[in-house]
Amino acid sequence: MGLHLLGLSNIILTDIAPVMPALKRNLKRNKPVLGKTLKTSQLYWNNSNQIKTLNPPFDFVIAADVVYIEESVGSLVGAMEELVADDGVVLLGYQVRAKEAHEKFWELCEKVFLIEKVPHEDLHVEYAFEEADVYVMRKKMIK
């Protein structure tokens, strides 16, 4: 929601069906600050129709705390690849939740993205914590 305050447009907040009511409540609660309604959409990473409905590609895809089930990692990386523009950026807030998912996620990401870890000293001191990292990922250009 803070992205809207920075002037970015066409912001779509996504999550799985059980979380959508809470997401919509948070948007409604923050409407006085936001001024206009941001879009929300249900998104399961393995659902190509839902991905297409979002009308990608996007300049920025922002995700946080999304790597925890090994079986879903391939779909997540595939969705990020479809959603972000060739010259776009994936900004990822990351914390290791499950070793197998962690290993598979980075193995798949390295095939698709150039990955840069943001140094902890560059993160805001109030919001950063030692167990979590922030990554900037850009698509590799295939020649």
Max Cα-Cα span within the chain: 47
87 CB contacts (<8 Å, ≥6 apart)? 59, 138, 139
Q: What SS3 class is residue 126? A: coil
- Residues 114, 38: Cα–Cα separation, whole Å: 30
- pLDDT for the residue numbered 9: 66
Q: Residue 31, SS3?
A: helix
Q: What is the band of 49 on the pLDDT scale with cuts at 50, 70, 90?
A: very high
The domains of the chain, with CATH numbers, are 1-42 (no CATH), 57-143 (3.40.50.150)
CB 81 within 8 A of CB 109: no
Supply 27's token pair.
Answer: 């948007």
pTM for the predicted model, two decimal places? 0.86
State residue 4's pLDDT score.
Answer: 44
Residue 1 has a pLDDT of 43
pLDDT band (50, 70, 90) for residue 38? confident
Give the span between the Cα atoms of 113 and 8, in whole angstroms. Answer: 23
- List pLDDT tens digits, range 52-108: 999 999 999 999 999 989 999 999 999 999 999 999 999 999 999 999 999 999 999
pLDDT, position 36: 66
Task: Give yes or no for residue 2 having a pLDDT over 90.
Answer: no
Q: What is the CA radius of gyration of the chain?
A: 16
Helix residue ranges, H only, the chain: 2-5, 20-29, 31-34, 48-53, 73-83, 99-112
